């Protein structure tokens, strides 16, 4: 997996090569918050030995609230959690 970040330090792109035959690329779009994630999937064409486009998934996020998190004082460290982006 390859991770790319923008100038603000926000996640911009993840490239996954789970096996030699399939790969995916997820691009993250932000306004103030995360706006959408576009994932493009590719597969290896055995005859041409090139990756061919197989589809796209778009996930759109909206209606965020901006209230403060009341649980931040409990002392749970963010670095203890491994985060998955699928």
Kindly state the tokens that stand for 9: 């330090």
- Whether residue 42 is contained in a domain is answered as yes
Residue 41 has a pLDDT of 93
Q: Which residues, in sequence order, are CB contacts of 46 under 8 Å at separation 6+?
A: none
> Which pTM was predicted?
0.66
- Whether residue 49 is contained in a domain is answered as yes
- Whether residue 28 is contained in a domain is answered as yes
The CA distance from 32 to 45, in Å, is 39
- Whether residue 76 is contained in a domain is answered as no
Average pLDDT estimate for 73-81: 59
More confident residue, 76 or 51: 51
- Whether residue 75 is contained in a domain is answered as no
Terminal alpha carbon distance of the chain: 11
Banded pLDDT at 34 (limits 50, 70, 90): confident
- Whether residue 47 is contained in a domain is answered as yes
- Whether residue 68 is contained in a domain is answered as no
Parent domain of 37? 2-63
């Amino acid at each position: 997996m390859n991770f790319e970040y923008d100038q603000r330090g926000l996640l911009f792109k993840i490239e996954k090569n789970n096996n030699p035959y399939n790969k995916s690329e997820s691009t993250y779009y932000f306004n103030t918050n995360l706006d959408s994630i576009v994932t493009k999937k590719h597969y290896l064409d055995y005859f041409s030995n090139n990756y061919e486009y197989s589809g796209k998934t778009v996930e759109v996020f909206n209606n965020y609230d901006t209230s403060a998190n009341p649980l931040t004082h409990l002392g749970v460290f963010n670095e203890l959690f491994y985060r998955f982006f699928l």
